[in-house]
Amino acid sequence: MSTAVDVKILTIDGVDVSARQDQTVLDVARENNIFIPTLCHLEGLTEVGACRLCLVEIKGSQKLFPACVLKVEEGMEVITKSDRLLHYRRTILELLFAERNHVCPVCVANGSCELQSMAQSQGLTHVRLPYRNPKLPVDLSHERFAADHNRCILCSRCVRVCAEIEGAHVWDITGRGIDCRVITDLDDPWGSSTCTRCGKCVQVCPTGALFDKSKVGVPHPKYPEFLPYLNLMRDGQ
């Protein structure tokens, strides 16, 4: 009879690490201070595996796997850094920068933007693709917050935090493909939507797409770290 083993041993970038069997490769890597880039992942929210930046190689497979949803396995050999992966990550970032209007100097999130710091950490120096420069709306109808769709990367963190943590499900995504856009309620103005004004979506937004109107012109750091704490407190009840 086999005994139930709930600890797995695997290697990440050649380092032996141990993990509980329900952990993902991303969790284990972060525990061991191995950096894997992510944009859609946020501790405390469900995973969607959409940004594709956390793709890693597994020895023995040609396929790439998103570390945020990849469960650990005994003896797994994970490679998080390779020329191929770096190239893919840079190209994905290029696609993001070219998709909408990411103009850092005039952005409220300049200096505290996850997209910006991701590009720096991945050594992205220029974008080879033509900028699409779409004309997108800015929603200023809310009394405290604003949504600038030009800076949205559709990571869906706002959608998830609103549905899963706040329980309001005000945010959702409309449209298809390149025409996707986050909306409040049934594409109503944010100000007249059923928004509870909790501001969680603003705190989890990785870019300057959702921001606090009072922070325009001053540094606008975001604090998404409250989520795991909130979940812990709720689980404790």
Query: Binding residues for other proteins, per CB under 8 A?
Result: 47-52, 55, 64, 66, 69, 71, 87-88, 91-92, 95-96, 98-99, 128-130, 132, 153-154, 156, 172-173, 175-180
Please say which residue, 102 or 215, places its beta carbon nearer to other proteins. 102
- In the bound complex, what is the minimum distance in angstroms from residue 24's beta carbon to other proteins? 11
Please say which residue, 29 or 92, places its beta carbon nearer to other proteins. 92
- In the bound complex, what is the minimum distance in angstroms from residue 215's beta carbon to other proteins? 27
Residues in the chain, overall count: 237
Please say which residue, 87 or 197, places its beta carbon nearer to other proteins. 87
Burial class (CB in 10 A: 0-12, 13-18, 19+), 75: exposed
The C-alpha torsion from 99 through 84 and 49 to 74, rounded to 10°, is -170
Q: Show the CA angle centred on residue 153, arms to residues 101 and 64, nearest 5°.
A: 125
- In the bound complex, what is the minimum distance in angstroms from residue 126's beta carbon to other proteins? 13
Please say which residue, 34 or 70, places its beta carbon nearer to other proteins. 70
- In the bound complex, what is the minimum distance in angstroms from residue 168's beta carbon to other proteins? 17
Query: Which amino acid type is present at position 19?
Result: A
H-state helical runs in 21-168:
25-31, 83-99, 114-121, 157-160
- In the bound complex, what is the minimum distance in angstroms from residue 226's beta carbon to other proteins? 26
Give the Cα separation of 22 and 93 in Å (integer): 30
Please say which residue, 128 or 135, places its beta carbon nearer to other proteins. 128
Give the Cα separation of 70 and 178 in Å (integer): 27
